Amino acid sequence: MTAIRRIPILFACLTFLCAPLTHAESVDEIDAMLEKAGAYMGSEVCSECHLDHAEQMKGKKHGQSADPHSPFADWGCETCHGPGGNHLINNDDPMVSFKGITQSPSHVRNTMCMQCHQGGKLTEWHASTHDAEDAACVDCHEIHEPDSVLDRQEQADVCYTCHKDKQAQSFRAFRHPVREGKVICSDCHNPHGSVGDASLQQLSINDNCYSCHAEKRGPFLWEHPPAAEECTLCHQVHGSNHPAMLVKQGPQLCQSCHSQVGGSGNTHTRRMIDFSDTTGGTGRFIASQNCANCHSQVHGTNHPSGAYLQR
């Protein structure tokens, strides 16, 4: 379509007004931007220049004009990007740009998304770490391309773009099967915010862990206090070089609380090579050098004789 043929379309659409927005933080800024943007032109006009994006949207939920819940059921491309009347004429007049060197501020882009995406798991967004760090929805989500963050095999790679330390921990010897896609970040965390620590899905770290490790929940007749207090006192949840993802090797971890159990007792001595006790016998209690050889029920037990968590 030539510029001459576009002009009548522009004047025919001048009477359309911009739809109101409800996100209080950005509404004034966006209203000012859309007021300068001119009239809505329709997706057919957008596709004259942006044919590749138009083709991509045909197979996406956002691009279904017959679905009343889809942006394309309203103003098509302009539901998210704003009216394109002046952009059509001058090419550089304001529209909401989600990516690239001309991208709009993150709170503007997020407000456009939150016209539809509100409530549910997004309720805590404005108290979330990602919002506080000025992250935009499209920093994680793809609209025109397949959305990798929703794919269990690819989600972690999207998160690792920022969380490099967690990526490094995932390559340690003992870890959750994140790289295999059996456990993914959003199984434990709500990236849109939550009332729990570290944007956890549950209210507490232990409740989060119990959603998979229900057998550790209790209540127990004989309870191990640190296990009931917080799992991360003993476990490094993103990966560890010690069995069971412990924060330290077994005896050192136990002795960080049980300091009275040390080198003076031959049945509790931490030795590297010599498994013999002081009488020349075999130190069978320290084989494999681990307290859990005997105190196997470290999370708690209901056995009547389990006061020392041994059964």
Q: What is the DSSP string of 141-192?
A: --SSS--GGGSTTTHHHHHTTT-HHHHHHTTSSB--STTTTSS-HHHHB-TT
Query: Is the per-residue pLDDT at 264 higher than 80?
Result: no
Q: Note the pLDDT of residue 87.
A: 83
Residue 76's Cβ-count burial label (10 Å; 0-12, 13-18, 19+) is: buried
Q: What is the value of pTM for the model shown?
A: 0.77
Q: Which of 292, 294, 252, 288 is nearest to 273 (CA)?
A: 288
d(CA 248, CA 244): 10
- Taking CA atoms, 140 is separated from 110, 222, 245, 249, in Å, by 12, 45, 28, 36
Higher pLDDT, 247 or 292: 247
Q: How far apart are CA 121 and CA 218, in angstroms?
A: 29
Q: Rounded to whole angstroms, how far apart are CA atoms 80 and 98?
A: 9
Residue 143 to residue 293: CA distance in whole angstroms: 53
pLDDT range class, residue 274, cuts 50, 70, 90: very low
Token pair 């659409």: residue: 13
Q: Which of 25-29, 68-72, 156-160, 222-226 has the lowest mean pLDDT?
A: 25-29
Taking the C-alpha atoms of residue 64 and residue 58, their distance in angstroms, rounded to an integer, is 7
Which pLDDT band holds residue 36 (cuts at 50, 70, 90)?
A: low
Task: Assess contact for 264 and 223: CB atoms under 8 A.
Answer: no
C-alpha span between 109 and 98 (Å, rounded): 6
Closest Cα to residue 242, out of 172, 179, 171?
172
Q: Please give the Cα distance from 219 to 221 (Å, whole number).
A: 7
CB atoms within 10 A of CB 255: 17
CA nearest neighbour of 111 among 236, 206, 27: 27
pLDDT of residue 17: 34
> Span 147-157, mean pLDDT?
93
Residue that the structure tokens 């993914």 belong to: 184
Torsional sign, CA 153, 156, 159, 164: negative
**Residue 193: pLDDT above 50?**
yes
CA–CA separation, 39 and 99 (whole Å): 22
Question: Is the model's pLDDT at 299 over the cut of 70?
Answer: yes
Residue 280: pLDDT above 70?
Answer: no
* Per-residue model confidence as pLDDT tens digits over 111-140: 999 988 988 899 999 999 999 999 999 999
Spatial CB neighbours of 33, under 8 Å, sequence gap ≥ 6: 82, 94, 96, 104, 108
**Phi and psi at residue 244, to the nearest 5°:** 60, 20
CA distance 240 to 170: 8
Q: Measure the CA–CA gap between 283 and 268, rounded to whole angstroms.
A: 9
